[in-house]
C-alpha cells in the first residue's frame, strides 16, 4: 500500500471543486481513498481519522492525501484536474479584484458572498456601503452581525439576502442552488431555500413561472431579526410591474408581516397545498403532480419498521415530518452536518451511509433536489445505494423539466433502482406513511 501526502502553499479552490476532484481521484484504478481539501483544522482531522500522518500546515495550504496500491498516475491526474478549474469568466491576462470593495468599483448589480461565516460580515458590509444588494450564502454568521447588516442595508436602501441564503432567482438568473424556472407572474419571498424550490418547481410543472425569488435567510422571520429583509423584499415585489402575486415561504415564521396590496399567498406546512393555492388565485387548473411509483416488490408492500427521513433540505424535512406524523427525521443540510464539508445536495456521502444502515422493514424517505449548484447527476450517486438498501425507499424529486439534470431521466433512474418517486414532497411523505 502506498501513500501520497503533500501540502501546496498558495493554492486555493472552493470546497465543491475540491470535493469533486477528491471523488475523481478516488475513482482512479489503484486508488482507495483521496482527500484534496484546504488544510483547515476540520479537514486535517478527517485525514488523520483515515490514518494519514500529516506534516504541520497552514489552513491556507492545499492538503493532498491519497492512499492505494498503485498511485503512479494520481499526482499527474491531480495536476490536470486543478489546472482545468480556472476562474470562470476571468481574463487570464488581468488580475481579478482581490476584495469586495475593489470588485464593486468595477460595476455590477449584486454581490454574492460565499466565504467562511467568520469572514462574511466584512465582505457584506463592503457590498452594502457600495450601494449594492448582497446575497450572503455563508452560514455561521452571528445573529448580532445579521441584524447589523440589515439595519445598515435599510439605511442604504438595499436588500440583504441571508445569511445562510441558499437560493435566489433575480429576473431569471439563479444564485446558489437554483432551478431553471420559466418567467411568470409569481414573486416569492423565502426564508427557506428548498421550500422556495419546491413551491416554484411545482408551479413550473403546472406551467406557471416566477418573476423573482428573494431569499432572506432562515432567521429573518425570527423575533430577533424581526423580518427586516422580508419586509423590504415584499415592498420590492409590490413595486415590481412583472409580479402579479406574491408568495411567502418560511420554515417557522414568528414575525407577522403586513400583507401587500397584490394577491398574496402565505405558505403553510404543506408546500404542495400552497402551490395549489397560488394556481387557484391565478385562475389556473391544478394538475396531477407527476409521480413514478416503484416497480420492485419491496416498494409496494406494507412495512413494519421505522420511517426514516434522510433530507438535504431543512424545510422539506420539517414538512415531511409534520405530514408523516411518525418516524425519525434528519436534516443533513443543517449546519451541524455541513460545517467543513459540502452541502448534501452536492455530496451524497452522509446519506449513502445512512441508507446502508437502514433495516429491512424500514421505509426511507429522502429528497433529491435538482438545478444549478446541485449534484450534476444525483440519480447516479444514489442508485447503487438505493438498490442495495433493504428498506423501502421513497424519493421526493424537486426539479423542473428545464433543469440540467433532466427531471424525467433522474426519475427513471431512481425508479429503476427501486424507489417510488414523487415531485411533491407532501405526497411522498403521505405515501411513505401509508406503507407503515
In angstroms, the Cα distances linking 364 to 133, 192, 233, 321, 421 are 40, 23, 37, 12, 12
Percent of the chain with pLDDT over 90: 74
Q: pTM for the whole thing?
A: 0.86
Tell me what the mean pLDDT of segment 92-106 comes to.
77
For the chain, which residues make up each domain, given as ranges? 2-83, 100-281, 291-434
What confidence tier does 85 reach under pLDDT thresholds 50, 70, 90?
A: low
Do the two domains 100-281 and 291-434 of this chain adopt the same fold? yes
Spatial CB neighbours of 54, under 8 Å, sequence gap ≥ 6: 5, 44, 47, 48, 63, 65
Determine the topology of domain 291-434 in CATH: Rossmann fold (3.40.50)
Three cell numbers at 95?
A: 488580475
Q: Is residue 384 within 8 Å of residue 403, measured between CB atoms?
A: no
What confidence tier does 183 reach under pLDDT thresholds 50, 70, 90?
A: very high
Any idea which of 40-49, 238-247, 352-361 has the lowest mean pLDDT?
A: 40-49
* The pLDDT of residue 251 is above 80: no
Q: What percent helix, strand, coil does the chain show, rounded to 5?
A: 35, 20, 45
What confidence tier does 94 reach under pLDDT thresholds 50, 70, 90?
A: low
CATH architecture of 2-83: 2-Layer Sandwich (3.30)
Which of residues 360 and 60 earns the better pLDDT score? 360
In this prediction, residue 88 carries a pLDDT of 44
pLDDT (tens digit per residue) in 261-305: 999 999 999 999 999 999 999 999 999 999 998 864 454 456 679
Q: Look at residue 138 and give its three-state secondary structure.
A: coil
pLDDT (tens digit per residue) in 293-329: 886 445 445 667 999 999 999 999 999 999 999 999 9
Tell me what the mean pLDDT of segment 82-110 comes to.
73
What is the CATH code of the structural domain delimited by 100-281?
A: 3.40.50.261
Helix boundaries (H) for 307-403: 314-324, 335-338, 349-357, 378-388
In this prediction, residue 91 carries a pLDDT of 55
Tell me what the mean pLDDT of segment 362-375 comes to.
96
pLDDT (tens digit per residue) in 382-425: 999 999 999 999 999 999 999 999 999 999 999 999 999 999 99
Amino acid at each position: 500500500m502506498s501513500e501520497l501526502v503533500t501540502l501546496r502553499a498558495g493554492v486555493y479552490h472552493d470546497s465543491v471543486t475540491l470535493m469533486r476532484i477528491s471523488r475523481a481521484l478516488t475513482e482512479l484504478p489503484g486508488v482507495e481513498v483521496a482527500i484534496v481539501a484546504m488544510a483547515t483544522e476540520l479537514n486535517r482531522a478527517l485525514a488523520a481519522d483515515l490514518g494519514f500522518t500529516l506534516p504541520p500546515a497552514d489552513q491556507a495550504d492545499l492538503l493532498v492525501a491519497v492512499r492505494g496500491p498503485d498511485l503512479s498516475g494520481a499526482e499527474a491526474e491531480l495536476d490536470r484536474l486543478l489546472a482545468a478549474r480556472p476562474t470562470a469568466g476571468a481574463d487570464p491576462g488581468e488580475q481579478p479584484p482581490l476584495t469586495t470593495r475593489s470588485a464593486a468599483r468595477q460595476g455590477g448589480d449584486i454581490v454574492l458572498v460565499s466565504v467562511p461565516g467568520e469572514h462574511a460580515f466584512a465582505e457584506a458590509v463592503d457590498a452594502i456601503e457600495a450601494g449594492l444588494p448582497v446575497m450572503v450564502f455563508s452560514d455561521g454568521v452571528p445573529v448580532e452581525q445579521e441584524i447589523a447588516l440589515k439595519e445598515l442595508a435599510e439605511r442604504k436602501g438595499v436588500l440583504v439576502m441571508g445569511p445562510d441564503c441558499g437560493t435566489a432567482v433575480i429576473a431569471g438568473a439563479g444564485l446558489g442552488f437554483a432551478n431553471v424556472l420559466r418567467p411568470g407572474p409569481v414573486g416569492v419571498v423565502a426564508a427557506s431555500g428548498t421550500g422556495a424550490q419546491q413551491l416554484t418547481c411545482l408551479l413550473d410543472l403546472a406551467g406557471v413561472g416566477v418573476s423573482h425569488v428573494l431569499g432572506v435567510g432562515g432567521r429573518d422571520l425570527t423575533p430577533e431579526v424581526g423580518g427586516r429583509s422580508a419586509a423590504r423584499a415584499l415592498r420590492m415585489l409590490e413595486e415590481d410591474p412583472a409580479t402579479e402575486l406574491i408568495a411567502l415561504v418560511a420554515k417557522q415564521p414568528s414575525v407577522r408581516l403586513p400583507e401587500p396590496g397584490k394577491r398574496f399567498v402565505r405558505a403553510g406546512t404543506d408546500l404542495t397545498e400552497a402551490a395549489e393555492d397560488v394556481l387557484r388565485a391565478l385562475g389556473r387548473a391544478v394538475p396531477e403532480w407527476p409521480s413514478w411509483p416503484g416497480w420492485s416488490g419491496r416498494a409496494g408492500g406494507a412495512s413494519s419498521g421505522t420511517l426514516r427521513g434522510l433530507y438535504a433540505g431543512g424545510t422539506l424535512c420539517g414538512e415531511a415530518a409534520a405530514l408523516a406524523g411518525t418516524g425519525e427525521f434528519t436534516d443533513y443540510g443543517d449546519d451541524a452536518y455541513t460545517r467543513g464539508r459540502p452541502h448534501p445536495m452536492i455530496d451524497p456521502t452522509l446519506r449513502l451511509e445512512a441508507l446502508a444502515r437502514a433495516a429491512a422493514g424500514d421505509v426511507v424517505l429522502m429528497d433529491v433536489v435538482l438545478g444549478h449548484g446541485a449534484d450534476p447527476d444525483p440519480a447516479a450517486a444514489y442508485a447503487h445505494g438505493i438498490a442495495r438498501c433493504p428498506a423501502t425507499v421513497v424519493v421526493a424529486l424537486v426539479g423542473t423539466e428545464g433543469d440540467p439534470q433532466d427531471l424525467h431521466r433522474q426519475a427513471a433512474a431512481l425508479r429503476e433502482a427501486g424507489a417510488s418517486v414523487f415531485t411533491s414532497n407532501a405526497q411522498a411523505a403521505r405515501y411513505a406513511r401509508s406503507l407503515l
